[in-house]
Structure 1
């Protein structure tokens, strides 16, 4: 009889644990409705304190905690610039920080000094008129993990079906919600200086490579190590194939995408026109004309990238 009672108690405890776990996951947003739309952004112009990191996205949680501890009442923000399907994890770039002010409000100077004393930089994002956006409940620790897994595939499908160009994606944590936002204009203004400097270095290296290429092989073939909208579970080592390529943008500051633009073709044609004029003039003067090699094209300095991700485990 006592053994039967023990089994009944164990079963009862197990059922209670399963029920509590299921209730907790449901409360965290396991089946929460996700409504992706194109419209006004969830934030206005913002000034925020941030730290830039390059590495595995799963490590971003440490920066979120550090930023939150300095300003516990401030909304947190994360911006992720690379698609882990295309860029090796150690090379992925992101920024994490806290929003100091929004709209026309001034930032708290004392609080800003505290962030700067802890090694944070200060930057501003503009307000844009149209974004791809949705929100997910932020109620528990697992809400951010569930949000990443559930939201980004929806965003990827929405963007692909409508052939939109949205990058990078921002994640804003405030008022019990995680707002996911991808600007549809002025994308270049959402790239912090550290990302732009990295792009500039890559562009210079690519130009040096093009200038030194004497093998006769086209060194300007299109390739990308990080272009695309990161719209998948960016904290996973094997994320779903849900990022979307975008057409080249002149204001993009993202890394690793060196693409040809229509401007390059114009420069090449202009160069050949000038060369042809010089050859014609030399022929008229009776001077022997040496054939001129085709100039190698340079990749644009500011390639385009579309994007995605929040804190999760990789």
Structure 2
């Protein structure tokens, strides 16, 4: 009889434990609806203290812990610049830190010095005019994991279906809510100096590589007469680095070489009423009339 009583108590405890865990998950946001929308942002211009890192996004928790330990009452923020589905984890770039002030309020000099003492840098973001955004409850630490698994896929689907250019991805921990914000304009304003420098070096490297024939024929490939010349004109947003327009032309090469003039173009394209400056990148592809293919890409400014 005593054995049955003991087993019954153990079973009851297990049921209570499962119910407690289930209730905890619900309280953390397990069944919270994820609504993605485009419109006005939930924040104004902000000044933040941050650290820049390159590596897997899963390691950002250490920086969140560090920044929160310096000033626990401040709102935390994370900005993720790369798509983890297309960029290797070890090359993903992000920042983590705290919001020191918002709107017209100026950050405390003492607070700035405190964060700088621990190696954080200070930077300001403007108030984004239009964003894609979603929110999620922030009631327990488990809410963060639920948000990562539920909100980011919803944002990806929304942006892809509407073919929007929305990045980088901001996570703002404010009160009992997590705000996920993706700017639709002036994306470059959300790039910290370290990120801008990496982008600049990347463009320089791409321009240098473009001068070299990928087939190993050298910097000055000599296609044969009669080869097909393919010109691809693509508009590249200076703000986001995303191609937003494309035109294609083809011709027959009538001379062994066809130097392209150095030229530059500028235009503005409207996205939700915002004018985005773009510049044209000119790609030149020479398709030789024999089996081997000589290809050269030039970035002309």
TM-score under structure 2 length normalisation: 0.76
Q: Is the 8 A contact 1:206 1:299 kept in 2?
A: no
Q: Which runs of structure 2 are paired with 1:218-233 in the superposition (5 Å)? A: none
CA distance in 1, matches of 2:143, 2:130: 26
**Aligned length, in residue pairs:** 249
Q: SS where residue 60 of structure 2 aligns?
A: helix
The alignment's C-alpha RMSD in Å is: 3.0
Report what 2:270 is aligned to: none
- Change in Cα spacing, 1:299 to 1:41, as seen in structure 2 (3 Å) is farther
Going by fraction, where is strand more abundant, 1 or 2?
A: 2
Q: Tell me: higher relative CO, structure 1 or 2? Use CA pairs within 8 A at least 6 residues apart.
A: 1
Residues 260, 299 of structure 1: 8 Å contact kept: no
Q: Which residue of 1 aligns with 2:148?
A: 148
5+ long unaligned stretches in structure 2: 224-230, 250-258, 264-294
Distance 2:205 2:244 in 1: 16
Residue 38 (str. 1) matches residue 75 (str. 2):
no
Indicate if the aligned counterparts of 2:237 and 2:244 stay in contact, CA closer than 8 A.
Answer: no
Q: In 1, Cα distance between the equivalents of 2:209 and 2:162?
A: 37
Q: Distance in 2 between matches of 1:51 and 1:217?
A: 49
Judged with a 3 Å threshold, the aligned counterparts in structure 2 of structure 1 residues 217 and 114 are, in CA distance, closer, same or farther, namely: farther
- Equivalent residue, structure 2, for 1:28: 28
* Among 215, 222, 237, the residue aligned to 1:249: 237
What's 1:93 paired with?
A: 93
Determine whether 1:298 maps to 2:294.
Answer: no
Deviations 1:141-170 (A, max 9, x none): 110000010111111221222222100110
Q: Distance in 1 between matches of 2:39 and 2:30?
A: 25
Q: Distance in 1 between matches of 2:101 and 2:300?
A: 37
Deviation of the 1:262 alpha carbon: 6.5
CA distance in 2: counterparts of 1:14 and 1:295, whole angstroms: 67
Shift of 1:296: 4.4
Alignment CA distance shift 1:108-1:271 (3 Å): closer
Aligned 8 A contact 1:63 1:97 in 2: yes
Q: 1:217 to 1:113 in 2, by over 3 A?
A: farther
Q: Give the helix-richer structure, 1 or 2.
A: 1
**For the Cα contact (< 8 Å) 1:203–1:299, is it kept in 2?**
no
**Structure 1, unpaired ranges of 5+:** 223-246, 273-293, 301-314
Work out whether residues 134 and 179 of structure 2, in 8 Å CA contact, stay in contact via their aligned partners in 1: yes
Deviations 1:97-146 (A, max 9, x none): 00001011000110110001110011111112211111100011110000
Residue number in structure 2 paired with 1:48: 48
In the TM superposition, residue 206 of structure 1 has moved relative to its aligned partner by 1.7
Deviations 1:56-90 (A, max 9, x none): 11110000011011111110000011112211111
- Shift of residue 260 of structure 1? 9.9
Tell me if structure 2 keeps the 8 A contact 1:74–1:99.
Answer: yes
Q: What TM-score comes out, normalization by structure 1 length?
A: 0.73
CA distance in 1, matches of 2:222, 2:117: 51
Tell whether the 8 Å contact from 1:55 to 1:92 is kept in structure 2 after alignment.
yes
